[in-house]
Amino acid sequence: MEKKNENKLEEPRSNIVLESRKKLTLTGVEEVISFDDEKILLNTKLGFLTIKGSELKMNKLDVQNGDVIIVGNTASIVYSSKEVKKEKESIISKLFK
């Protein structure tokens, strides 16, 4: 039996563990973009991650290892692509081009 080539590039990894919608444990976090008690925006190895809820607090932040623990009432967790999208133009600005 031959061993598979172990020189493959490692795929980016990021894990999410949500316990009873009260405690969120994340790995693979590269940067905290913004946060308040209702919305947290993170840059992870798999793209941007938006967490919405109420009474959100970061209990642990270890950017060197990419670990974050968030407590509070989690309402939604949404990934978006790594590309930063342009803000949508208003209807008025489109009309006057």
44-87 per-position pLDDT tens digit: 999 999 999 999 999 998 978 999 999 999 999 999 976 544 44
For the domain made up of 16-82, give the CATH fold.
Immunoglobulin-like (2.60.40)
Q: Comparing C-alpha atoms, which of 26, 78, 76, 33 is closest to residue 54?
A: 76
pLDDT surpasses 60 at 3: no
Q: What count of residues does the chain have?
A: 97
- Please report the pLDDT score of residue 87 as a whole number: 47
Query: What mean pLDDT comes out for the span 21-46?
Result: 94
Distance CA 11, CA 78 (A): 20
